[in-house]
Amino acid sequence: MDYVKFGRSGLDVSRLCLGCMSFGDPQAEGHDWTMQEDEARPFFRQALEAGINFFDTANAYSGGTSEEITGRLLKEMAHRDELVIATKGFFRWKQAPNAGGLSAKALMHAVDDSLRRLGTDYIDLYQIHRLDPAVPMEEIVEALDAIVRSGKVRYLGASSMYAWQFQKLLHLAETAGLKKFVSMQNYVNLLYREEEREMLPLCADYGIAVMPWSPLARGRLARPAAAQETRRSQTDRLQPVLYDRTADADARVIAAVETIAKQRGVPMAQVALAWVLQKPEVTSPIVGATRQSHISDAVAALDLELTSDEIRALEDPYVPHAVTGLFAMPPARLELTLKD
């Protein structure tokens, strides 16, 4: 496993981050394909043995039970000082005023709840899960600064938003002498490359770490377009939001991944992830796992170097897509099912 600096911060993270949305109570609000603690245990063991030290979850995943399982299993298997634990806040955790969003009150409460569920004294990376347009940006950056200075959080990160919004947040924090964001968790894969236009150049210019979510397009890049769907793809409420299953261009991209995978004699997932990893702006893609082979493939992708001809073949079929994955709207108007 390779370790890299997390943007311009002094933090060292593994080249892969294990996404923990797959772990949680399937009866809780969220997804019915998530795994309970005993089923999740081998995945954490495998990730740690592979050298992964970076784990990402969120307070909204499975009603908070993802944080609980992540915290308990990491405490069981590793020393806290060897881990980088990331979580997120924004989505509403119950139907009540101030129970969601990025107001100072909501953020302070959300951080305390995440600390309790994770069973830790501090969070390495706390990320705003989306931008809350109902709260002034000044209030957001001031509240996050106070949380870091309280000792509850070490570093700050953001997630999918427009590049101009992220630049404004960075500017507000810098000019006010507040703690700045060191990372961006955004949506980047071979089926959605719109972040290459503005967000990735912005992150490169500011030295912001990039940790893409869904680098395999929720599994679509890991199997032929005509392959039988998995249980997750059949029940995942975000699939129809993020993808047009009838898009010819997407099918051509998937076919290109399949062709190169056959030529290389490797699974399609390795090719698709290797493409994300070769992008110079990308620090640590977030890889989810519902089978242990998913972690093995992700680790193997670290050693798969694509040629310039292969990269061109993967990229040529792409056509511009409508901007998606932001869900930038007040939490009160956001359905709880829209969780990445």
SS3 per-residue string spanning 197-255:
CCHHHHHHHHCCEECCECCCCCCHHHCCCCCCCCHHHHHCCCHHHHCCCCCHHHHHHHH
Which stretches of 7-61 are assigned E, i.e. beta strand? Answer: 12-14, 17-19, 54-56
Cβ distance 204 to 173 under 8 Å?
A: no
H or E element in which residue 101 lies:
none
Alpha-carbon distances of 286 from 27, 54, 210, 312, 314, rounded to whole Å? 24, 9, 10, 24, 21
Residues in Cβ contact with 242 at an 8 Å cutoff, skipping those fewer than 6 apart? 187, 192, 214, 217, 218, 324, 325
pLDDT of amino acid 32 = 81
pLDDT less than 50: residues of the chain:
328-340
Short-list 151, 106, 150, CA closest to 128: 106
Alpha-carbon distances of 202 from 115, 160, 199, 210, rounded to whole Å? 31, 13, 5, 11
**Per-residue pLDDT reduced to its tens digit, 115-145:** 999 999 999 999 999 999 999 999 999 999 9
> Exposed/middle/buried for 59, CB within 10 Å: 0-12, 13-18, 19+?
buried
- Tell me the pairing of strands 3-5 and 12-14: antiparallel
User: d(Cα 299, Cα 294) in Å, to the nearest integer?
Assistant: 9
Short-list 19, 7, 87, CA closest to 52: 19
Short-list 44, 55, 45, CA closest to 84: 55
**Per-residue pLDDT reduced to its tens digit, 164-211:** 999 999 999 999 999 999 999 999 999 999 999 999 999 999 999 999
pLDDT of amino acid 332 = 42
pLDDT of amino acid 244 = 60
Cβ distance 42 to 290 under 8 Å?
A: no
Active site residue 155: no
Domain ranges of the chain: 3-333
Short-list 274, 284, 100, CA closest to 183: 284
pLDDT of amino acid 240 = 53
- Tell me the pairing of strands 12-14 and 17-19: unpaired
pTM score above 0.85: yes
pLDDT of amino acid 238 = 56
Tell whether domain 3-333 is in CATH 3.90.280.10: no
Alpha-carbon distances of 254 from 56, 170, 234, 247, rounded to whole Å? 27, 36, 18, 11
Which one is catalytic: 3, 61, 126, 318? Answer: 61
User: d(Cα 72, Cα 20) in Å, to the nearest integer?
Assistant: 13
